[in-house]
Amino acid sequence: MMRVGQGYDAHSWADDDRPLVIGGVHFPGHRGLAGHSDADVITHAVIDAMLGAAGLGDIGQLFPDTGKEFHGADSLEMLRRVAKMVDDAGWTLANADCTVIIDQPQIAPVKDEMESNLSNAAGGAVTVCGKRTEGIGALGRGEGVVAIAVALLERK
């Protein structure tokens, strides 16, 4: 038996000097994303896709932005916790695929590192694709970053 889940996340750019983390990769010299945790938009989308496929709720239920314990949290650690929950529920990650929509920084130079970080934390293959906005809409005006993910789980 197999199940598919879809995840989505969006973050605006932060007004403070927090670091930019995407797919577990730090981007020195770039403004970070606003959020309660480290605001890792790709990792959050993968988390929601895996949770949805397993029928285990969503990221907001498990890691609420009202709790102090998740303030500044490492999203890869959150993904590891979700992978354990998915495994405990009798599922294994066949694969996940994520698209991040961002103009800067470029994703291609660190794509392999992102995929390694995410795959190790998720317990299965995770692929990443970066797409530019071509200047269209709110993202094209530089208002934030969006990520969309899909995850396929197999019954153990």
Mind listing the pLDDT tens digit for each residue in 102-145? 999 999 999 999 999 999 999 999 999 999 998 888 888 889 99
Question: What element of type H or E holds 21?
Answer: strand 21-22
Measure CA 136 to chain center: 23
Total residues found in the chain within this entry: 156
* In the predicted structure, residue 67 carries a pLDDT above the cut 80: no
- Return the pLDDT at 41: 98
Check the CA dihedral 112-113-115-120 and report its sign.
positive
Strand partners, 118: none
pTM: 0.96
Per domain, the residue ranges of the chain are: 2-155
Q: What is the token pair recorded at 138?
A: 């709110």
- Return the pLDDT at 53: 98
Question: What element of type H or E holds 95?
Answer: strand 91-101
CATH topology of domain 2-155: 60s Ribosomal Protein L30; Chain: A; (3.30.1330)
pLDDT in tens, 8-33: 999 999 999 899 999 999 999 999 99
Q: What is the token pair recorded at 123?
A: 């317990």
Mean per-residue pLDDT of the chain: 96
